[in-house]
Amino acid sequence: MNGDAPANGADAGISRSMSGEAVPRPVLKVSLGPVSLPNPVLTASGTFGYGDEEPELTGMLGLGGIVTKTVTLEPRAGNAPPRIWETPAGMLNSIGLQNVGVDRFLTEKLPALASLGVPVIVSVGGRRAEEYVETVRRLQGAPGITAFEINVSCPNVKEGGLEFCQVPSAAAGVVEAVRKVTRLPLWAKLSPNVTSLGTVARAVAEAGADGVTVANTFVGLCIDIRTRRSRLSAGSGGLSGPAIRPLALARVRDAVRAVTIPVVGCGGITTAEDALEFLIVGARAVQIGTASFRDPRAARGVVEGIEAFLRAEGLTSVEALIGTYREEV
């Protein structure tokens, strides 16, 4: 982490205000139940590969955590191209969980990821509850895993994925089964494509989840009017990016109202101002996804922007801001 801290008074955690008096550096550290993060900004699953980019290019060493691309029991080829299509202020994707599988992840990806000194949250997917269980069982003894994010919401796979969230008891069933094989913290990544996200959040919380990530992508469709075919080979895809941000924020608010476990906000966050909205509504951390595609240092910029905002507002910690949404009109 050398060289990553701001130069001004960083060593002592002290900086100078405009008038020259020493003011403490705002504390960015957050705790999410059993999980402690150096700051509330993570990368969203599937948007940062396996964190094997050059740290200089991505600024990953200053992040609160890296959520990995979803790992499944067996390697997956993913969907045929085209897999992505840009939309106004967003993008559709149907990657289809292409990944190396848990065994190669353990030997080829995790060691380098764990050595970065940034908390690693491993995203786990599967077709059936048993696959999640077996994947987590193989992972959970490995060094360097801070928590698991249980992906019960991928819109781009034929089996499992989104359908878990559409039946709250099914999503809860996966969490309950995984809970039995690991003591590591479990977050459930929920789908926004449901009638009541709060109901699903309550179900997974009761099943033993330590947190919920809200939310995955919205199901979307784009058509080539010339060929009358979908822009994506898989048909529909998942919409992400700033286009969905207000939708995601409203769902984060719903989740915060529904459960007492920590909520991680995710959906179209591009700037520190965006992230602050989610924190104010009650998310205890945020994930940056599509914005990293446009600027691989976007998440790092969000960390710096949050710190600058706290200073400007005279707040001593990010905790002082979380959940300060004034709902009365």
Q: Which residues bind other proteins (CB under 8 A)?
A: 46-49, 52-54, 56-58, 69, 74-86, 89-91, 93, 95, 98-101, 104, 233, 241-242, 270, 292-297
Least CB distance to other proteins at residue 85 (A) = 7
Least CB distance to other proteins at residue 100 (A) = 5
Query: Based on CB atoms, which residue is closest to other proteins, 44 or 190?
Result: 44
Q: Is the peptide bond before 82 cis (omega within 30 degrees of 0)?
A: yes
Least CB distance to other proteins at residue 68 (A) = 11
Query: Based on CB atoms, which residue is closest to other proteins, 128 or 297?
Result: 297
Query: Based on CB atoms, which residue is closest to other proteins, 95 or 281?
Result: 95
Give Cα separations from 252 to 15, 197, 259, 267 (angstroms): 34, 9, 11, 10
| 325 DSSP assignment | -
Q: How far apart are CA 185 and CA 41, in angstroms?
A: 18
Which residue, among 269, 211, 258, has the nearest Cα to 31 in the 3D structure? Answer: 211
- Describe the crossing of helices 272-281 and 298-313 by its angle, rounded to 10 degrees: 60
Least CB distance to other proteins at residue 2 (A) = 19
Query: Active site residue: 154, 165, 222, 266, which one?
Result: 154
Q: Which SS3 state, helix, strand or coil, does residue 82 take?
A: coil
**For tokens 């948007």, what's the residue?**
47
Least CB distance to other proteins at residue 82 (A) = 5
How would DSSP label each residue in 266-308?
ESS--SHHHHHHHHHHT-SEEEE-HHHHH-TTHHHHHHHHHHH
Query: Based on CB atoms, which residue is closest to other proteins, 4 or 52?
Result: 52
Q: Is 154 an active-site residue? A: yes
**CB neighbours of 12 closer than 8 A, spacing ≥ 6?**
none
| Beta-carbon-side half-sphere exposure of residue 115 (alpha carbons within 13 Å) | 7
Which residue, among 106, 300, 69, 109, has the nearest Cα to 189 in the 3D structure? Answer: 69
Catalytic residue numbers, as ranges = 154
